[in-house]
Amino acid sequence: MKIKDFDAVLLDLDGTLIDSAPDISMALNHALAQCGFATFDIELTRSWIGNGVDKLLERALVAANSNDLNVSTQQVKRAFFESYAKLNGQYSRVYPGVRDALTYCQQHGIKLACVTNKPSAFSAPLLADKQLLEFFPVLISGDDVEHKKPNPEMLYDAARQLAVNPGACLVVGDSENDVLAAQSANMKICAVSYGYDQGVDLTTLGIDAKIDSITNLID
């Protein structure tokens, strides 16, 4: 399976294009400390990334033994957004091979979209900071639709905006959310071996391929 076999490639952001865990972990710890909760190391934070901000904060607060999860989530969320807005992109890095693969798609007329559960206030600035935004004529963020991944709505929306048949799209991601969304949309799904899989062996979910670098699709 190669990128050139598809009309469009829909890529996840965090854990697929960019390792954003350092910024997220630092912002999370700032927010937790500000609100009087324990902080956590980056490797534990990595295992919580992939289902959006609310789920990230919920997991952190459960680990911190919050007595009132609903109230605590809103308090920490405000502090997290404020901190992450300042940190977004500072310590994140683009995964090896990403730029080469995106350039290949541009040169060969393969349409690209970035589909992420990350809020739009952070997704576009992060892509711009890493000089990747120019590759994506379509960016679907978590607050652009009613239902985030694993619901297929975001993928259908990306295909519609790119004016391609959903069946001609390849989804590339790193988590169970990406796999389930792609399968619900009847799109092929290729999982990367790095990223934030939350300990789930994605090969058990019936993925179409697993790669160590996005450039594997064009090699």
Report, as residue numbers or ranges, the catalytic residues: 12
DSSP characters over 152-210:
THHHHHHHHHHT--GGGEEEEESSHHHHHHHHHTT-EEEEESSS--TT--GGGGT-SEE
- Cα–Cα nearest to 32, from 93, 67, 78: 78
Q: Which helix (H) or strand (E) holds 111?
A: strand 111-115
For residue 14, how far is the Cα from the chain centroid? Answer: 3
List of residues 6+ apart from 152 with CB closer than 8 A: 181, 182, 184, 185
List of residues 6+ apart from 39 with CB closer than 8 A: 28, 29, 32, 33
Copy the structure tokens of residue 16.
Answer: 């697929």
Cα 197-203-208 angle, rounded to 5 deg: 110
